[in-house]
Amino acid sequence: MRDILFAEVDQLYDEMIEMRRYLHQYPELSFQEEKTAAFIQEQYNILDIPFQKNVGGNGIVATLQGAEAGLTVALRADFDALPIQDEKETSYKSKTDGVMHACGHDGHTATLLAVAKILKKYQHRLKGKVVFIHQHAEELAPGGAKPMIDAGALDDVDVIYGTHLWTSTPYGIVQTSPDNFMAAADRFKVEIQGVGGHGAIPHQTKDPIVVGSQLVTNLQQILSRRIDPLETAVLSIGSFHAGNAYNVIPSTATIEGTVRTFKPDVQQYIVEEMEKIIKGTCFGYDVDYHFDYAYGYPPVVNHPEHAEMIIALAKDIPDVTTAEMIQPSMTGEDFAYYLENKPGAFFFTGAQIENGFVPHHHPLFDFDERAMKIAAKTLISAVLHSNKSQ
């Protein structure tokens, strides 16, 4: 049966591309995905697969009951976009100013809809039940996964799988990890309140730029001198804003950044050390500050047997050249919440375009659409193997 379903994926490829490119042209930001949700609902109406809408927000959960008893397998795809201007020159370029699918969620959605269509066609030969989770708001914490779970998306689910089309990995490669796979992703902001003045008389000011610059340097010492080198963590400053004139020392400066960890004790230690360093640095310069630390998604931790199963199944897919376990990524994903509640695994499907690497969240982002076929075949394999359908 597997080979029959794989052939169906190949036959449906053009339709997958069409759906993906349509969604790419009409992206919607996290928590605002009303038209995208309506499009997904329309597809399930056409397929005559029952679904629930507005699950935990804009989420959709569709359910396909097989002909025989068996496990309930959930498959998840996200469908929100990012506040980025699409700078590609393609026929399917975003038509929404300042918003684009810069992370492949349009491809995730098209892939899962194709899987649903194929499995519906062979419903009479399926064992168990398949739950299709279309999740809103992955890109913006607190995210859509947790409210969907709280609303019952995982009720009666036995195992869950998901994939991310990954452009830093070449087409034909499937990757995962047997445990830690993606990091906890937190963000922070430090607002420094100094005393501004003329650039020619700095001694009459309390320069927040100097304080902020020292703070950027001092914070890096947490990882280099206070964390065990064998532990894995990232502390990155992504934004430093102060002033708007070349000859005026501003009154305030704002620093923003991210912390990525895998262990809760390491995460908490970094927060405590940040507080100490920020307080000490600002005290030394006699300025006030406000420190805001926002905990994001927890780490994505795969369940070993399910991650190993994904790799074994992927190796048997004709389009896959390599299926491998890799070191964890410091990127974050709210798929973490599903794996905190149910066994399963998350994996990368290589989708690097042939003429070069374009990173996720980039204005020129695009992916090799053939990767959707590999993603679909891997997810279908996981469904069949979970119930050992032949």
The per-residue DSSP string of 104-117 comes to SHHHHHHHHHHHHH
Report the distance separating Cα 183 and Cα 125, nearest Å. 39
Residue 145 near residue 162 (C-beta atoms within 8 A): no
Q: Distance between CA 357 and CA 285 in Å, rounded?
A: 44
Residue 259 near residue 235 (C-beta atoms within 8 A): yes
Query: Using DSSP, how many helices (H) and how many strands (E) does the chain show?
Result: 10, 16
Asked whether the beta carbons of 174 and 323 are under 8 A apart, the reply is yes
Angle in degrees, 0-180, between the axes of helices 371-386 and 304-314, rounded to the nearest 10: 120
Beta strands in the chain (DSSP E): 51-55, 59-65, 68-78, 127-135, 159-170, 173-176, 180-182, 184-193, 197-198, 233-241, 248-249, 252-261, 288-297, 300-301, 322-325, 344-352
- Full 3-state SS string of 167-212: EEEECCEEEECCCEEECEEEEEEEEEECECEECCCHHHCECHHHHH
Task: Report the alpha-carbon distance of residue 130 to residue 122 in Å, rounded.
Answer: 12
Cite the active site residues. Answer: 80, 138
In Å, how far are 20, 107, 351, 366, 367 from 354, measured between CA atoms? 19, 17, 9, 11, 9
> 73 with 132: CB under 8 angstroms?
no
d(CA 17, CA 15): 5
